[in-house]
Amino acid sequence: MYDVAAAGVGDTGVTYSAFSGWAERPTEFAPMLEGETTCDIAVVGGGYAGMAAALRLAERGADVVLLESGFCGWGGSSRNAGYLSNALAGDPQLLNTLYARRLPGLIRYADRAAHFTESLIGRLGIECEYEPTGNVIAAVSPSQLRHTKRNAAILRGAGADVEFVEGRDFGLPTTFLGGVFERAGGLLNPGKFALGLRDALLASGVRTYERTAVRAVEPHAAGAVVSVTGGRVRAERVVLATNAYSRDLAISPRRMVTPIWTSLVETEPIAPERLATTGWTRRVGIVTPHTILENYRPTPRGTIMFGTRRLRTAPGALGAREPDDTVVADLVRGFHERFPSLGDVAPRRAWGGWIAMTSSLLPVAGEATKNVYYAIGCNGHGLAQSPYLGTLLADRLAGDRTHEDLAAVWRARPRFAPSVLSAPTLHAAWTIDRLTDRFHRRRP
Ligand SMILES: Cc1cc2nc3c(=O)[nH]c(=O)nc-3n(C[C@H](O)[C@H](O)[C@H](O)COP(=O)(O)OP(=O)(O)OC[C@H]3O[C@@H](n4cnc5c(N)ncnc54)[C@H](O)[C@@H]3O)c2cc1C
């Protein structure tokens, strides 16, 4: 059961949370499933993907059951950094090398995902502090700047709505030299977005069960049986929207996702005039093009939130957890390097979550086995993409022809290559990033 103590205090003097710093847990839950029920479509997992899929299926007249092991929004959906972005995961030069032919379709998919999710927020009237600022992949060294310039050209060539910008002219903090401005999307409070979707779900015709972990999904000729502790659902079709947790379900295609733990830290409030002294005059989310990215964003509560740099793997089952001290200390060091004039600004809170990485770095959707579908794996970019992917899959299950954006990520067969992500490779990537940072500090 996920209901562990919400917070502890680590050695760094930061309050750690095993949930999210963006929102409180709900105080009331949907019922647990007990006994047996039937439905047209059972959705497993109540994150953005599962909730959006269930809502769309119900809108289209299906009888839908959604099963969530914690509460809807418990996973990455409430915890993320809040960048609503039209970017794909992965370096554009790498993507262009691996998927030159597919790239324009993938870019169109990611761009439409950002616009779709933006309009979903409006359509459902979710108050989630959304600011349509766009986001910047910003360089912190001359070589990164050259790299981002090339990336901007590749992305534009493939049809992306981006432009290369100079840091100072654009209003980035002075340590950020410039980079790729993604015009679509912006920044929001993901906890409020996820719990707003949950409110819409609970008010809809979807039969939602929380604190109901799915133990097994067994397909048969006319549908599938979904087993939970104390009950089961007979469904014609099943959607797996279990993201990083997919690995724990035997029905999931082997090697489909590698769960990776990602951490975030938030500072104490900073006076606006002090923030202005950093040169950060344009309110925009920043991500760096390191091998493992760093992200920095302002929040509506006057703080700066930052994250990633060091990632952790999951040797065992995924449970609730807090970030560890080493990771938080490293993130704080990075923050002080990028914002030298804010050296006295203290970190206050830290939390993290599991993301699902796929070996292709691309989102994936398809049929795991007869009557069991998946829409998963947004590689740390699911805020915009997961609701869109869930909705596109729902439309297909409701009888529509496969949308061209769903086709862009659809897997004909549920076969996945082994992942290169492991504790040693992630540590090596972090070490390379720190060595290149040090090299550029010596030779500005
Ligand atoms: C720290 C962090 C920062 C991030 N920052 C960003 C960002 O700025 N922008 C961005 O686009 N993306 C970001 N992401 C990624 C983004 O949060 C995810 O891609 C997105 O939330 C995925 O949504 P989802 O619905 O697929 O999965 P989740 O939100 O993980 O939902 C999966 C749900 O399935 C449930 N579940 C799993 N197994 C079972 C089971 N057996 N039975 C029942 N229920 C089950 C889980 O409890 C969970 O609620 C970040 C993620 C993290 C963790």
Query: Quick one: pLDDT at residue 331?
Result: 97
The residues, ordered by sequence, that sit 6+ positions from 184 with a Cβ below 8 Å of its Cβ are 85, 86, 111, 114, 115, 118, 134, 161
What's the rounded Cα separation, in Å, for the pair 217 and 226? 4
The model's pLDDT over 177-204, given as tens digits with 9 standing for 90+, comes to 999 999 999 999 999 999 999 999 999 9
Compute the Cα dihedral for 330, 284, 406, 124 and give only its sign. positive
The residues, ordered by sequence, that sit 6+ positions from 159 with a Cβ below 8 Å of its Cβ are 104, 107, 108, 111
Residue recorded with tokens 């133990």: 215
CB 132 within 8 A of CB 427: no
Query: Quick one: pLDDT at residue 91?
Result: 95
| Stretch (H or E) spanning 115 | helix 103-124
Q: Is the CB of 381 under 6 A from ligand 1?
A: yes
Query: Quick one: pLDDT at residue 12?
Result: 59
Q: Is the CB of 179 under 6 A from ligand 1?
A: no
pTM over 0.75: yes
Q: Which two tokens stand for residue 320?
A: 């609730």
CB 20 within 8 A of CB 349: no
Angle 154-388-415 from CA coordinates, rounded to 5°: 75
Q: Is the CB of 378 under 6 A from ligand 1?
A: yes
Regions of the chain short of the pLDDT cut 50: 1-10
The model's pLDDT over 132-159, given as tens digits with 9 standing for 90+, comes to 999 999 999 999 999 999 999 999 999 9
Query: Quick one: pLDDT at residue 377?
Result: 73
Query: Quick one: pLDDT at residue 8?
Result: 42
DSSP state of 159: T
Compute the Cα dihedral for 339, 131, 77, 106 and give only its sign. negative
Bridge partners of 267? 347
Q: Is the CB of 213 under 6 A from ligand 1?
A: yes
Q: Kindly give the number of the ligand 1 atom that is closest to the alpha carbon of 50.
A: 25
Rounded to the nearest angstrom, the distance between the alpha carbon of 64 and the centre of ligand 1 is: 21
Rounded to the nearest angstrom, the distance between the alpha carbon of 183 and the centre of ligand 1 is: 24
Q: Is the CB of 49 under 6 A from ligand 1?
A: yes
Q: Is the CB of 352 under 6 A from ligand 1?
A: yes
Residue among 55, 51, 54, 56 nearest 71 (CA): 51
Query: Quick one: pLDDT at residue 221?
Result: 86
| Stretch (H or E) spanning 98 | helix 92-99
Domains of the chain: 7-434 (3.50.50.60)
Query: Quick one: pLDDT at residue 317?
Result: 81
Query: Quick one: pLDDT at residue 438?
Result: 87
Residue recorded with tokens 């009331």: 28
Q: Is the CB of 80 under 6 A from ligand 1?
A: yes
Q: In angstroms, how far apart are the furthest CA atoms of the chain? A: 67
